[in-house]
Each structure stands twice: as structure tokens, then as C-alpha cells.
A and B are shown apart, each in its own frame.
Chain A
Amino acid sequence: MIKVEWFYWLCGIFFLLIAMQAFTDRTNRKRLGSAAFWGILGLSFCYGTFVVHKQAPSWLLGIAVIGIAALAGAGFPGRGQERTTTPEQRARFADRFGNKLFLPALVIPVVAAIFGAWLAKVKLGNGKPLLETGSATIIGLGVASILALAVGMVLFRPRSPAVPLHEGRRLLEHIGWAAILPQMLATLGLLFTASGVGKAVGRVTDHLIPKGSLIAAVALYCIGMAIFTIIMGNAFAAFPVMTAAVGWPLLVQQFHGTPAVVFAVGMLAGFCGTLCTPMAANFNLVPAALLEMKDQYGPIKAQIPTAIPLLACNIVIMYIFAF
């Protein structure tokens, strides 16, 4: 059986290689802290295997996670000088390779979909599934990335096998600590649930809707996602709160909604909130600045008339397809 943990180790090793590169990168003024950030992260990914299997204490990983957050708060990881091609070289390469450039990228969704939709159902001779249950898409993504890289290496023939690693580091250093923010928010969701935040929000929202009304509960979840996202500026942060308060106890447990539909559409309802909030500066204020707009809320004003009907669509889609 192909196990998902193999791919977490692949991620761990990738982070450790990045840590080593960062450590030796003299152009990165924060190289020691950066190496520590990526290094602890890489080790945490591998150590996580033993935590999940209850073979090692969780608190040790907890300390590492708080350490990673502290490093992020102190301004790490930093960026070194980019080792990539110049815009002129890229223009020449683009003339040479043309639309072949899209090919490796398209391998990823195609292969991931084959794994998620088809290989997920394949069973081995001993009756066990070929891919670990519930992780077929993640496994597919790992395999797809390796295949896509192989296609890219054959097409473009870079001079050294280290080239994709340097390019990967360029992108990862660009994202910085934000690369693991979604995972931190998922972790926060678990802590919120364990300490009863979801239940507390649920007690507040219970008073807002008539008991036993499905459409009211669906609307509460979707509108709640949008409003929490507007306040926090981040649908990822709103998701664990609203799901613990309404999505899971009411929509899935009480009304027996299909979890995949409830959660997917719930998240998208949050995105409608993102369209309307200056708190999501990256998406709404940055483009206004880049385009030198007089009115920094110009993009939001263009988006609100889309966000409101789209939120209504989400409520309808969830109501029809999840129940």
C-alpha cells in the first residue's frame, strides 16, 4: 500500500534541503535564522509521523511549532539573491519553447485527478486499497509533481539537476512563513475546538435562528463565514470557527449534510467576504496601490455587487446539493 506519510517525508526532506541551501547562502542576510526556520519545519514534518502513530510525545512537536512561529515573528525566513534567468533570457526561451511551457504544469492536475478519482478505488490482491484511504489526492499530488518535474527536465534540459531545487527555493523564499500559515490555522482550529470556542459561538448563533429550520442553518453558516472573513480578513481563519459552531454540529450532525459539499461551499462563502474587506490587504488594497488609484477602496467597490449575489448562490447551492 502506498502511504501518505512517504509524501510528508518528501516535504520534510525538501524543507531540510532548503535549510541547507539557506545556511550556505551568503547573499541572505538572515541565513542562520532562515536555516533554523526551514530546518525545524523539515524535522517537524518527519517527526509528525511518529506523533500521528502515537510513538512519540506530541508536546515536543508543540514546542517546535511555537518555535517556528516565534522565528516567523522575529522576521525569519529571509531571502537570498535569486538564482534564475533574466527577463531577456526568459523572453528568448519563451520564443523557443512556446506553448510547450504549459505542458509540465498541466501534468499536475491531470495526474492528481487520475489518482483521486480512479486509483483511489483500486484494491490490491490482499483486499487492501492501493492508496491509503482518504489520502489518494495528496498521494496523487506528490506523484504528479515528481512526474511533472521529470517532464520539465526532459523538455528544458537545465544544466544541473539542482536547478529545480534552486527555483523551488526562490518561490518558497518569496512566500516565506506564509507557506505554513494555512497549516497553523488548521492547528488553531483544533485548539479552538478542544477549548470550546466553537461551542461558545454556537450558543450565540443558536439564538439567531429558528430551531429545526434547515435553510436558516445553511444561511447562518454561509453568512457567518462571510462576516467572520470580513472581520478577520481571512477565510482560512474564519473556517475553523464557523465550522465548529455551525457547520459540523448543525449542518453535518443534526441535518446530515454531505460533509464535502457543506465545507467546500462554506469556504467559498467566506471568499465572498474576502472580496469586500480592506482587512484582506493583499487582494484589495495592494492592487489599488499598484494601479495608483485615488480611491484605495476602488477594487472593493467593484467587487461588492458580485459578492452579494454570489453569497446567495452559495446558500442555494449548499441547500440543494448537500441535503
Chain B
Amino acid sequence: MWVLLAIAVVVVGFALRINSMLVVTAAGIVAGLIGGLSPVKILNAFGDGFAGSRSVTVFIVTLPVIGLIERYGLQHQARKLISKLKVLTTGRLLALYMLIRQGTAAVGLTSIGGYAQAVRPLIHPMAAGAAERKYGKLPEKMQEKIKGFAASADTVGVFFGEDIFVAIGSILLITGFVDTTYGLKLEAIDIAVWAIPTGICALLIHGSRLWLLDRTLDKMAAQADAEAEDEDEEVAR
């Protein structure tokens, strides 16, 4: 049971924000020592594990071509296409952005969205702008709501889209780990295909919550108006 301390090393190390590579290595050494492996066996396990899971890092071969198309304006082109969504309401805009984010991530184009690249400069201003057109100046509560949902559209979209693409860390980690540890021969694409049902559920659940955000905002705006009126009355009294 003491070997569970190795998990505690990971939890504490990550919580203290120590470099993850160091934490992982330390946890491996702790597990090996408590588990009764000799130092040479621990080194052998590190070597065998690393050699057996090289497939996990193969995604890096896509970097030169992704970098090349970024050089020639990939993100600008994506931004141009996304800015056509401007005519929509806040909720519909975020729902469509999530669909685009998930669909592009599913074919490996994870670099066209992101918080710094798209949400902050493009998606949030468009979403907030649409709400301001409808409700006028937004109370802080509504601003916060729109910000939170704008970030979540990106996160949920990319999480449950990228797993459908084969060259992604999570898919390669699965095949790398189970093939080395249990001697299976799993194809990455078979794993990726089974990410599709969950991807559809994520789109339906979060997409409809984004779509219905307009109603929530309506309610919040009505409530804010009522509160403002109450205050006016009090002032008048």
C-alpha cells in the first residue's frame, strides 16, 4: 500500500507547480524504490518505457507544415471567416464558434482557435458586442457570464474535437502506454474513431447550453432592470 505514495508525489508536485517533468520522474523513482525494484531495474524501466512509447511524440512531425501555413496567414484567414459570424446573437455565435472549433480540431487544425489567438481578440468582443446591441450597457454579472461561456466554448470544443484526430497526445498516449505495458497492438485510428460518440454528445450538451445562453441573458437583463427601478424608487422616496 505504501507504493501509493508515488501518486501522492504527483498530486503534491503538480499542486506546488514544480516542473512536471521533474515531478513525473521523481514519482517514477519513488514508485520503483517502494515497489522493491533495484536502481538498475528502475533505470531499465525508464529506458524501456521511453523507447516503447516514442509513438506518443510522433505528432511533432506535423509541426513544420503547420508552422509553414501559419507563416502564410492561416490564423488571419480563419479570423476572416469567423468574423462573418458577427450578425448573430451572443448564444448562437458562441454555439457556432464551438462547432467550428470542434470540427477544425477534429482534422488537426488546433492552432486556429485558442484563448489568446481567438477568444480574447475576436470571439469575446463579438459576443459581448452582440449582447450590448440588444441590452445596452451590460451589468458586471452579465459580462462575467459571457466571458465564462466564451472561454468554455473554446475549451469544450477543442477537448472533444482533437481526440478524433490521430496525431494528438491523448490518443498516442493511450496506444503508447497500453502497447508497451500490456503487449497489445492497438491502431491509433481505432481509438480516435471511438472519440466520435462522446464528441457528438459534447456538441449537443454544450452547444445547446450556449444556444440557450440568449434566454439566460434575457432573464438577467430583465432582473437587472427591475433592480435598477427599485433603486430609482428608493432614491425618489
Contact = CB atoms under 8 A, between A and B. Distances in A.
B215 interface: no
A109 B50 contact: no
7 contacts: A93-B71, A180-B21, A182-B172, A182-B176, A195-B37, A263-B186, A298-B147
Contacts of A113: 166, 189
A230 to B, nearest CB: 11
B217 interface: no
Given A11-B58, A182-B173, A116 B22 contact: no
Contacts of A275: 152, 155-156, 159
Contact of A301 (B148, B174, B206): B148
B48 A58 contact: yes
B77 A97 contact: yes
A195 B54 contact: no
Interface stretch (B3-11, B130-138, B223-231): B3-11
Contact of B151 (A48, A59, A196, A288): A288
B90 interface: no
B43 A63 contact: yes
A235 interface: yes
Contact of B21 (A181, A191, A263): A181
B192 interface: yes
Contacts of A106: 107
Interface stretch (A23-31, A167-175, A209-217): A167-175
Contacts of A146: 61
Interface in A94-113: 94-95, 97-99, 101-102, 104-106, 108-109, 112-113
A291 B122 CA distance: 11
Given A194-B45, A302-B149, A186 B173 contact: yes
Interface residues of A, number: 153
What does DSSP make chain B's interface, helix, strand, loop or mixed?
Answer: helix
B218 interface: no
Interface residues of B, number: 122
B56 A182 contact: yes
B198 A180 contact: no
A299 to B, nearest CB: 4
Contacts of B155: 275, 283-284, 287, 299, 303
Given A108-B167, A137-B189, A186-B53, A200 B115 contact: no
Interface of B: 1, 3-4, 6-7, 10-11, 14-15, 19-22, 24-25, 27-28, 31-32, 34-37, 40-77, 80, 106-109, 115-116, 119-120, 124, 140, 144-145, 147-152, 154-156, 159-160, 163, 165-167, 169-182, 184-195, 197-198, 201-202, 205-206, 209
Contacts of B36: 195
Nearest to A201: B4
A252 B4 CA distance: 23
B213 to A, nearest CB: 9
Closest 6 CB pairs of A and B: A195-B35, A167-B67, A134-B185, A94-B73, A116-B189, A58-B47
A127 to B, nearest CB: 18
A116 B187 contact: yes
B148 A85 contact: no
Given A58-B46, A90-B70, A287-B151, 5 more contacts: A134-B175, A138-B55, A200-B3, A260-B193, A293-B148
B69 A101 contact: yes
A224 interface: no
Contacts of B48: 51, 58, 61, 190
A287 B119 contact: yes
Contacts of A47: 51
Contact of A302 (B4, B152, B172, B182): B152
A255 interface: no
A90 B71 contact: yes
Contact of A236 (B64, B169, B202): B169
Interface centre among B63, B116, B192 (most CB of A within 10 A): B63
A298 B151 contact: yes
A208 interface: no
A60 interface: yes
A299 B156 CA distance: 11
A279 B188 contact: no
